[in-house]
Chains A and B, each alone.
Chain A
Amino acid sequence: MGRMRLELTRLMDIGLERLKNMTLDMARLSEKTVSTAIDAYKEGENVAEQIFRWSDELRILQDEVSDLAIEVIARYQPVASDLRLIKSCMEISYGFSRFGRYAYDISQVLGIFSDISLCNKTSIEDAGKHVKKMIKVSINAFAEQNIDLARSLSKMDEVVDKIYLDFVKNAAKAPDVDLKCALSGTLILRYLERIADHATYIGDSVIYIVSGERSSRK
């Protein structure tokens, strides 16, 4: 029935599959969490409680990934690409849990600044679109172990950085700035910029799995 597998399944493969799947589960959940937070900001909805629950779930999942990674190392003495995969899953799952944390922070902004419906949200929407795209790319890079996708993330990160810096500079220079808008915008762009950074780190980890190279952090 079906083709004989050319290579034997190793005992370790069971653990590695679970590790990958758990990380991918975290990936999808964190994507959902960030998207919801960004959209909620645009619409002015209060989704803090929902985001909090998801963020907490991500934290718990990250602990589980970490524990599973340690177990695989202790039991199977992995080397080479297996070892790099495990190390990267630990780093990447941390990245996804940060997504959740920043999404939570974004959702909190509405609570702090009660009414920001009149603020100019263009920059934030722009950055939000890029960040959503970066998250998708980083998840695909990990799922497909695609090194080109991973490398494309640093360019995209530069775009987000620029949006953030420009907004802050304008807010600092503008003579008649609305403090609420400036502060809330800065905060949210700051969180988005951090999410983008972590997405690039995820890309770096994928590059490490595939080629063993380390990229220098900015």
Chain B
Amino acid sequence: MSSYTFRRFKDKMAYVFGFLCVLITIIPLGSILFEVVRNGFPALNVEFFTGLLGPIGQPGGGIANSIQGTLILIALTSIIGVPVGIMSGIYLAEFGDNRFGGTVRFFIDVFLGFPSIVIGIFAYLVIVLTMRNFSAIAGAFSLSIIMLPIVAKTTEEAIRLVPNSIREASMALGVRRWRTIVSVVLSTAKSGIATGVILAIARIAGETAPLIMTILGSQWFFAGFDGPMDALPLRIWRMSLLPYDYARQQGWGAALILILIVLTLNIAVRFLTRRKYRISM
């Protein structure tokens, strides 16, 4: 065939190949979602949402305390991790073009890929042994160590994306540096920052290893910051390993709930940080 036809063929082949790769990526993700919904949906009923874990082996009961636990953990972790993470990101982006900033960035990158079980063990040693108890504090502590680098890094990147011309425009109006950062830069970067926060929350909502070492798990509702508590990942893990059908089904149900929580958070944050003004005349 002519060279032109051959080139068109190669072009088409490259396109087809790329498309196939995308499919290969999506199929497992899609099938996971599908399986979770398929297996988890039947477990959903009123008792599932309101009841506590019953005696093992007996069908019935619910994951109310796990849901509560996960939500409390997310809230507690975010209170620690989000402000500190965002501030670090702001500092690195606006003032961190030096040796110190470079070092901090290096450590953040290291921690981004750190094994979470090691973080769990660390929290166990520092908090659990000191308090002589498994607790929400220990859990939030370990999860915030995971959350911090994610929020800091994505915040820094979002702020760096704000064009310098915007900063200059604000400074040229006689607005002070800190006010420029807070009212102009942050406001422009807010959707990027929010994305980072959601990413971090989604990550910590599903972390299981640290929870094993820090909150232990519990059959009861949340009973104070200094005692053990339950959370969805723990529950999913334990239920799925039990030899009973009802248990496994509840495990799937819990997984479905966990995914739904993260999805809701995602939508809520996107809604809250949308650009409030119409773009076109």
Are A and B in contact, CB atoms below 8 Å, in the complex?
A: no
Chain B residues within 8 Å of A, Cβ to Cβ: none
